[in-house]
Amino acid sequence: MRAVSPRAWGAPENLVPVEVDRPEPGLTEILVRVHAAGVNPVDWKTRAEGAFGTWGDTPILGYDVSGVVEEVGPGVTLYQPGDEVFGMPRFPEQTGGYAEFVAAPARRFAPKPRSVDHVAAAALPLAALTAWQGLIETAGLRAGQRVLIHAAAGGVGHLAVQIAKAHGAYVIGTAREEKHAFLRGLGADETVDYTRVDFAEAVRDVDIVLDGVGGAYGERSLDVLRRGGHLVTLPDPGGLPDPARAAALGVHAGWTVVEPDRLGLLEIARLVDEGKLRVEIDAVLPLEEAAKAHERGERGRTQGKIVLQVA
């Protein structure tokens, strides 16, 4: 089958087309013919710095996939050949989404949202589950709460805005001014241009901060939270504030990593099909241009998600 693999960890141009053996579905697994694969920051960070977890002899990047069930392994009852599915089934181990086929546990997938195509579905799993798990499960978002979302126009951020609004929150998003109209169209109640305004001075009395930036943003975000509020940091634990200061302010501060979650995917698909969640596609490129997709993503100015067209 066709795939894209890094010749070595490092620069984007190391991503090259290869031919590898098609995987076989094992016990409780399904083989999915991939129609589209989402591209995420973890992809280019892995490519640049080296993989963590377990990878194949031919490493293949890509966690987000949407496609059609080709075969089912022994013990599978959820799906049959021809079913449309989406998911991020093996994160953080190798999923191998930059390829024509992926084999993975059946219960790590969910039925593709009926109202969107495979490109849109492939853009959803990792980013939408990150937002869902951070806001709903980690922070326990409730209707009427005030939520501040950093990098609100990005892949995770623009989905987090919509998930928070769907649950009745008042949403404030940080982004460059040229992206404010986009955020308001998604339902954001307030927008802050972080290049001109210090969000720590412009925003107050927030119940939840979803920090997709990291670094100094975590420490500064403590100043906008109410007592009992939640700071959820996404990029890395290096962005966590001083625990003693967070405790003194009565703020819950922690780092979360997204996990495969079939029930979460079902909720995300429901929101999509109800018209409450849409994914913005920044660019669609053919599988063979994965290197260009990484270059585009690493520039840091994308609005929404980048997707590779596979089938």
**pLDDT tens digits for range 160-219:** 999 999 999 999 999 999 999 999 999 999 999 999 999 999 999 999 999 999 889 999
- Mean pLDDT value of segment 267-286: 98
pLDDT single digits (tens) 94-125: 999 999 999 999 999 999 999 999 999 999 99
Structure confidence at residue 74 (pLDDT):
98
The whole-chain average pLDDT of the chain stands at 95
Structure confidence at residue 236 (pLDDT):
77
Structure confidence at residue 56 (pLDDT):
82
pLDDT tier at 240 (50, 70, 90 boundaries)?
confident
pLDDT tier at 301 (50, 70, 90 boundaries)?
confident
pLDDT single digits (tens) 141-170: 999 999 999 999 999 999 999 999 999 999
Structure confidence at residue 53 (pLDDT):
66
Q: Is the pLDDT of residue 269 over 70?
A: yes
- What is the C-alpha separation between 68 and 86, in angstroms, rounded? 9
Structure confidence at residue 238 (pLDDT):
76
pLDDT single digits (tens) 47-98: 998 876 678 889 999 999 999 999 999 999 999 999 999 999 999 999 999 9
Structure confidence at residue 145 (pLDDT):
98
pLDDT tier at 291 (50, 70, 90 boundaries)?
very high
Whole-prediction pTM: 0.96
**Cα radius of gyration (the chain):** 19
Amino acid at 282: D
